[in-house]
Structure 1
Amino acid sequence: MTTEEAKETADVVSGTFLVNSLPARVLFDSGATCSFVSDVFCKQFVTPISVLPDALVVEIANGDKVIIRDRFCDCTLEIDGNPFGLDLLPMAIGGFDVVIGMDLLTRHKADIFFAKKMIQVPLSGGGVVVIYGEKGKGRNPIISAIKARKFLAKGYPSYLAYVVDAKKEKK
């Protein structure tokens, strides 16, 4: 599944979050029993890889089976400044850096609202973290300068991008 397909699909939630302090395209997938990391993305990890006691046979969406023998233990998914520990299994993933499965979602008693593209995760100290997934073409990704200034003042990570439409004619 690509990022654009995830935005248009009602039964998945996706977005960009920090995984081991690295910005990652993350798919929250209630159909996955475990959490996975792209074999390309995990090359940036400092976390050591460990061998599983028993190899896992994972059936992927097209029906093929993949054998996984390794895992990254004690990884961190950061959502709104709140760290969530998880183990990640490396494998070839198209379109995303990390797939969060039911292992993390059930451990943290997450509530999933696919119609709203929203996940609520209760925090151990009280309160809740709300994850809003990216929506399709109807959503405007531009925020105001005032909102951006507030995010920067709170210490949120920021990125500057200069985008040019190469297909557009010059006047």
Structure 2
Amino acid sequence: MEHQISNCPLISDAQLAGKSNPKLTTIGETKSRVPARVYSLDQQSVPEPMEVVKGTIHVFHHLAKILIDPGATHSFVSLTFMLGIDVKVERLPYDLEVRTPTGNQTLLANEVYKNCDLWIGERKLVVNLIRLAIKGYDVILGIDWLAHYHARVDCRLKVVEFYIPGEATLKLDMRGRLASSALISGIRAQKLLSHGARGYLAFLVNTPGKK
């Protein structure tokens, strides 16, 4: 199934232009609440494979288990993934009321990490990640991020293509990216090491057995 952001019924033209004005609900003297939707808050309730794309990519120079979910209105990061990562968190001017389509799970969120580094090969993209008690995944990338980069998601082929104005098409192929580790280029390794990542140099020696 190919999910074209420009034709997505889940997002308005204003959101595509990055000028979303979410409907606010004021409750007494408390902060306003903004409704949000995500298809899955844990690995057990993840949608059918034809609706999402799963895999691993680098976020903050750390390998993250991600869920690309066109049905999610926002992008989220788990509390545990951010432990030990020195990035400033900011308060939202409202409470985000996050629900699943079935309505059986609801969480409130009010903190965000802005302009987080996310790497696709040698290309750095940025994403605003809202802190949320999700399980099973480190990061959920929603329609806000996909629309910002003019993405087209093919959930069947597990491929995401980014049509960023003025740039060549950027392709993210998530097939084979479900392992806990990934091979990276020498240039990418240097960048990771310069940001404090730990590297190991291993030698493999093939010793012929005695005949």
> What is the match of residue 2 of structure 1?
43
* 1:109 is aligned to 2:150: yes
* 1:93 is aligned to 2:166: no
The 3 A distance-change label for structure 1 pair 123 and 114 is: same
Which structure has the highest helix share of the two? 1
Question: Which aligned pairs between 1:31-110 and structure 2 lie closer than 5 A?
Answer: 31-60=71-100, 63=103, 64-110=105-151
How many residues align? The count is 146
* 1:15 is aligned to 2:55: yes
Superimposed CA distance per residue, residues 141-163 of structure 1 (whole angstroms, 9 cap, x where no aligned partner)? 7xxxxxx7xx545x344988xxx
- TM normalised by structure 1 equals 0.73
The 3 A distance-change label for structure 1 pair 134 and 62 is: farther
Distance 2:142 2:78 in 1: 14
> What is the match of residue 121 of structure 1?
162
Distance 1:104 1:40 in 2: 21
Distance 1:130 1:45 in 2: 27
Contact 2:49 / 2:155 at 8 angstroms: preserved in 1?
no
> What is the match of residue 164 of structure 1?
none
Contact 2:150 / 2:164 at 8 angstroms: preserved in 1?
no
Gaps of 5+ in 1: 142-147, 161-171
Question: Which aligned pairs between 1:151-170 and structure 2 lie closer than 5 A?
Answer: 152-153=185-186, 155-157=187-189
Distance 1:127 1:38 in 2: 32
SS in 1 for 2:70: coil
Distance 1:114 1:9 in 2: 7
SS in 1 for 2:65: strand
SS in 1 for 2:71: coil
Distance 2:51 2:130 in 1: 23
Gaps of 5+ in 2: 1-41, 193-198, 201-211
SS in 2 for 1:30: coil
- TM normalised by structure 2 equals 0.61
Distance 2:120 2:164 in 1: 11
Question: 1:10 Cα shift?
Answer: 2.1
SS in 2 for 1:41: coil
| Identity value in percent | 25
Distance 1:29 1:135 in 2: 18
Distance 2:169 2:144 in 1: 19
SS in 1 for 2:83: helix
The 3 A distance-change label for structure 1 pair 82 and 132 is: same
Distance 2:168 2:130 in 1: 30
